[in-house]
């Protein structure tokens, strides 16, 4: 009987040990299966994330927040060029009437108006030049003007003493070196007092039909927001953008970009929620994204207000600006 009890006890212990081994093996198998499941899920998630990033527009999208671009792979140069040209085309649909916003009737008036536009609005220039050109219609007339009288006429544009000096100098140069005619070459224009590359391109593109890129504050701001360039120097910005577009498009490109910068893509509060090219803009979200709030930021004809020209082109959909001293009707 004692041997039998001992045998039973040994048999029971053996069964218990076997059961523990089975349980341990099962737990190990379950653990391995769980681990494999987690690894597979993680791998699937990573693959999905990669696919999302790869399929996302490199230039950004209207539905993406500002931080979303950080997870995307860098945009190739070719993709940027394609996006830039698409922006150009779409701006053409939004602003088919884009034009120079300075009133002028000849190259001399455009040259003078562009010099006066420094550090002020085109509207203020347009309100000032009618009296100016009535008094001094030609370079010869302006070169002979009394400085104090010229200063008084252009005072509303600001910095009138420095501008008077430039106008007297460029008028005398036109009279003495160019037979009273505005030259049609950039290398000649930039030799005139007060005339830099930006002013020269405005005159060439709009008075002579010679393609040029006008890098003003609006143009520079937008092309940097659109990642067409990272440069701040106007000449470097001009060179980078010129490499993206055919020369024949340079003047129209300038008008469309500047129009958009003045009406929608403002410096401090861009109206992102009303921007027609938001899906193509990598800087979407820098401004107001709510459509109703953004609509209140629109300017000129987009906001139902007069434009900057007293004599706009016939196809301009907005209201003409009022003369100096008159209120908007």
- Catalytic positions are 198, 216
Distance CA 178, CA 171 (A): 10
Q: Which ranges in the chain belong to alpha helices (H)? A: 2-55, 77-94, 107-116, 122-135, 139-143, 147-154, 160-177, 186-189, 197-207, 217-225, 234-242, 250-263, 291-295
Exposed e or buried b for every residue in 90-118, given b needs 16+ CB within 10 A? bbeebbebbbbbbbbeebbbbbbbbbbbb
Cross-strand pairs, 319: 306
Tokens of 194: 């007060």
For the chain, state the CA radius of gyration. Answer: 34
**Widest distance between CA atoms in the chain:** 141
């Amino acid at each position: 009987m004692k041997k039998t009890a001992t045998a039973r006890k040994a048999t029971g212990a053996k069964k218990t040990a076997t059961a523990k081994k089975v349980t341990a093996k099962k737990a190990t198998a379950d653990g391995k299966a769980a681990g494999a499941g987690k690894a597979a899920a993680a791998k699937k998630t990573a693959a999905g994330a990669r696919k999302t990033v790869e399929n996302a527009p490199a230039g950004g999208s209207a539905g993406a927040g500002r931080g979303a671009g950080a997870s995307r792979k860098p945009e190739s140069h070719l993709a940027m060029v394609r996006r830039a040209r698409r922006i150009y085309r779409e701006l053409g649909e939004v602003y088919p009437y884009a034009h120079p916003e300075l009133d002028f009737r000849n190259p001399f008036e455009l040259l003078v108006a562009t010099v006066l536009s420094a550090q002020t609005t085109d509207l203020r220039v347009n309100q000032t030049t009618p009296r100016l050109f009535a008094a001094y219609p030609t370079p010869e007339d302006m070169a002979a003007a009394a400085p104090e009288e010229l200063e008084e006429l252009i005072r509303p544009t600001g910095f009138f003493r420095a501008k008077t000096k430039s106008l007297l100098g460029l008028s005398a140069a036109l009279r003495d070196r160019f037979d009273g005619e505005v030259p049609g070459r950039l290398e000649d224009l930039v030799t005139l007092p007060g005339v830099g590359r930006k002013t020269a391109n405005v005159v060439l593109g709009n008075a002579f039909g010679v393609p040029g890129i006008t890098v003003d504050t609006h143009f520079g701001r937008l092309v940097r927001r659109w990642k067409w360039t990272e440069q701040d120097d106007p000449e470097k910005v001009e060179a980078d953008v010129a490499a993206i577009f055919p020369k024949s498009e340079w003047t129209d490109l300038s008008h469309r970009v500047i129009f958009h910068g003045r009406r929608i893509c403002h410096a401090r509060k861009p109206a992102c929620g009303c921007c027609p090219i938001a899906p193509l803009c990598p800087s979407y979200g820098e401004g107001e994204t709510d459509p109703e709030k953004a609509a209140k930021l629109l300017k000129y004809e987009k906001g139902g207000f007069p434009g900057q020209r007293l004599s706009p082109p016939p196809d301009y959909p907005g209201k003409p600006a009022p003369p100096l001293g008159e209120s908007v009707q």
